[in-house]
A and B are shown apart, each in its own frame.
Chain A
Amino acid sequence: MPGSSRSAEWIEVSFLVPITEDAILGSGKLHDYRKWEKLQDELYVRFGGYTVAPGYHHGAYTDPDTGARVADKSVKYHVAIRRRDFAKVRSFLKNHVKMLFCQKSIYCTIGEKVIFV
């Protein structure tokens, strides 16, 4: 396609936000409703919108610090962005979402690629 470049391609980035704080870093409790409002306002303003996947994603992983098996329940967000803006999404997840929701890392996917931010 004339004038187009790979960096201008639209891609879908998805990420999971557990519905509770990390039990070691935080309280293990549900998040204050204001934190979800903040996340969604930021996604809307910074990236033009988002889609919330229906239902919840149940998962389990081994905590690298304690070696304990941890089960969690997460909300999945999808955001459509230009490929060149992926660094902005990654920075947003690392510097805002991870801290706001008190998580050790955020599980993020681009296509089949998985990234722990």
Chain B
Amino acid sequence: MTNQLKYYETLGGGRIQKDELSAEELQLFQKVLNYYKKDPSWQEFSDFVFKNILNELETKLSRQKIIKTSIYRICKDLESRLKIKQRVARLGNYQDILEILILDKYPSKYQFCKKFKIDEGFLSNVLHGKKSFSIDALDNILNNLGYVIEIRRKNLTSSQLETSLK
């Protein structure tokens, strides 16, 4: 989202419109983007974000509100790109998202399986890509977790992501 771009696209395909950022956030974005382009380690980047972005935001917002801001989401997304590039993380798939949602809403996978009457071994196979839920079963589970299945454009490839930030 430089002067030419109208939006920032996250790794998960979410779009943050340039209009959503205040003038101050745009300045912070430029600052963080300039640092990102120096190709720091993700740990250095994390430290930079704390010192230069979060400390600034904390003078006005609570931490609960900060993590919902567009500038925070962009910083986290840039950090994730570094993690992927530096081979510490990977771009996951729907099974990873499902696992995160389950653990967000239930104390354990066991509790989730009990609620949906799913065999724990079967869930484990699904999460490891060895078996699959039917679309209807997945739709039902996601509905209960407060989500829906959506068809969207494929993510940008890594090289396209890098190019879009230049």
Name the residue of chain B whose CB is nearest to the CB of A45: B63
Residue A104 lies at the interface, judged by CB distance under 8 Å to chain B: no
Residues of B within 8 A of A44 (CB): 54, 63, 66-67
- Of the candidates B66, B87, B89, B109, the one whose C-beta lies within 8 Å of that of A36 is B89
| Known contacts A38-B100, A44-B67, A54-B41, A31 near B128 by CB under 8 Å | no
Residue B121 lies at the interface, judged by CB distance under 8 Å to chain A: no
**What is the minimal beta-carbon distance from B121 to any residue of chain A, in angstroms?**
13
Residue A100 lies at the interface, judged by CB distance under 8 Å to chain B: yes
| Known contacts A45-B63, A99-B109, A100-B103, A33 near B11 by CB under 8 Å | yes
Measured in the bound complex, the distance between the Cα atoms of B54 and A75 in whole Å is 21
Q: Which among A31, A35, A37, A100 has the greatest number of chain B C-beta atoms within 10 A?
A: A37
**What is the minimal beta-carbon distance from B46 to any residue of chain A, in angstroms?**
5
- Of the candidates B46, B50, B66, B91, the one whose C-beta lies within 8 Å of that of A33 is B91
- Of the candidates A34, A45, A48, the one whose C-beta lies within 8 Å of that of B96 is A34
Measured in the bound complex, the distance between the Cα atoms of B79 and A66 in whole Å is 36
User: Dominant SS at the B interface?
Assistant: helix
Name the residue of chain B whose CB is nearest to the CB of A31: B89
Decide: A95 and B90 in contact? CB cutoff 8 A.
Answer: no
Decide: A37 and B76 in contact? CB cutoff 8 A.
Answer: yes
Measured in the bound complex, the distance between the Cα atoms of B124 and A26 in whole Å is 8
How many chain B residues touch A (Cβ–Cβ < 8 Å)? Answer: 36
**What is the minimal beta-carbon distance from B57 to any residue of chain A, in angstroms?**
11
**What is the minimal beta-carbon distance from A26 to any residue of chain B, in angstroms?**
7
Decide: A32 and B83 in contact? CB cutoff 8 A.
Answer: no
Residue B88 lies at the interface, judged by CB distance under 8 Å to chain A: yes
What mask results when residues 4 to 46 of chain B are scored 1 for a CB within 8 Å of chain A, else 0? Answer: 0000000110000000000000000000000000000111101
Decide: B67 and A45 in contact? CB cutoff 8 A.
Answer: yes
Q: Which among B11, B87, B90 has the greatest number of chain A C-beta atoms within 10 A?
A: B90
Residues of A within 8 A of B151 (CB): none
Name the residue of chain B whose CB is nearest to the CB of A30: B90
**What is the minimal beta-carbon distance from B63 to any residue of chain A, in angstroms?**
5
Residues of A within 8 A of B100 (CB): 32, 34-35, 38, 100
Contacts A37-B80, A44-B54 known; list 10 others, CB within 8 Å.
Answer: A32-B91, A32-B96, A32-B100, A40-B76, A44-B66, A52-B46, A53-B43, A54-B41, A54-B43, A99-B108
Q: List 4 A-B pairs, minimum CB-CB distance, nearest first.
A: A32-B92, A32-B96, A33-B80, A33-B89
State the B residues within 8 Å of A (CB): 11-12, 41-44, 46-47, 50, 54, 63-64, 66-67, 76, 79-80, 83-84, 87-93, 96-97, 99-100, 103-104, 107-109, 128
